[in-house]
Copies of this chain bind each other. A is one copy, B any other.
Amino acid sequence: MVYLGIDVGGTGIKIGVVDAEGAILAQGETPTLVGRPFEDIIHDMGVCALGILERGGYSVEDVASVGIGIPGIADQNTGVVIFCTNLGWRDVPLRAELQRYIDKPVYIDNDATVAGYAESICGVSVGCHSSVFLTLGTGVGGGIVIAGRPWSGAHGVGSEIGHIPMDIDGEPCTCGNFGCLERYCSATAVIRMGREAMLQHPDSDLYAACGGDANKVTAKIVFDCAREGDDVSVKVFRRYVHYMCLALDTVVAFLDPEMIILGGGVSKAGNFLLDAIREQLPRYVLFKTRPFARIEIARLGADAGMIGAAMLGKQPVKEG
């Protein structure tokens, strides 16, 4: 048997045929073309999946289950997508609609949740009983794995770590609250801080690297300038590391997982970011002499969503 994994993004829908160990056997992609009726998007999703199966030499009968990762939340009982901001979806019967094309069990979960799950199946957190995955992108997504299985909470509204309040009366967030964690730990936060710093310091390397255009600031440019020793960028980088340590301390103090995995655009800074966090974090955690979560960079990159989604249908091996 094989597992179909579908990673729904605002631009493209990635689909993979995955084996029980998380290895990709065949894959493809179809554009999302946001704005169309959901029926059309799900039609393309189904047709594309059937084509990938066929080209890979598989039939629908070979498929154990279909898993879908969405940038939003779903009701796991009904298979209805509750919210999916990027796609403008609200109460979309994704499971029922997709089963018109592929009549197999369909599991739906949050994209960060399935990406974290994938890392625990065949990525950096293989063998970890518990882990927390953080995607550091436009926002901050969270994925929790407990006892080797994804945890989205009792009502499917958990692991929204980006929206934990981290600063009372802090920066306004897109969600309507103030001071949410993602206002400080996302790529968007690095860009905001980088812009402020650049405009205040026209003599900085950061200013030069962006040609003096605040709209050209990216997290990569800020971190690259910091790596090169530009004082202004180093200051932004250090502030970002401070915020990340507060976020990681939150995860340690709350759930104390075996591992915390950093994914998403910002994590591409790799060891430059990881080394700084690993050096600073022990000063933040409550029990400074006790072991706590290993911090690692995600390994599966853009395939994580597809693999983790596919694995949603994989039943846990019974213990004992």
Q: Which residues of A does B touch, CB under 8 Å?
A: 73, 82-83, 128-130, 142, 144, 146-147, 151-161, 163-168, 170, 175, 177, 179, 184, 243, 246, 249-250, 252-258, 284-287, 290-293, 318, 320
Contacts and interface: CB of A to CB of B under 8 A. Distances in A.
8 contacts: A157-B285, A159-B254, A160-B286, A161-B254, A166-B166, A177-B249, A250-B254, A254-B255
A79 to B, nearest CB: 15
A89 to B, nearest CB: 14
B155 A130 contact: no
A249 B318 CA distance: 34
Contact of A287 (B83, B154, B253, B256): B83
Nearest to A155: B291
Contacts of A318: 320
A221 to B, nearest CB: 25
A170 B170 CA distance: 11
A245 to B, nearest CB: 9
A157 B256 contact: yes
B256 A255 contact: no
A256 B166 contact: no
Nearest to A289: B82
B252 A157 contact: yes
Nearest to A73: B287
Contact of A156 (B157, B175, B256): B256
Contacts of A155: 256, 258, 290-293
A184 B153 CA distance: 26
A294 B156 CA distance: 14
Contact of A164 (B83, B254, B320): B254
Contacts of A82: 287, 290
B253 A163 contact: yes
A168 B183 CA distance: 12
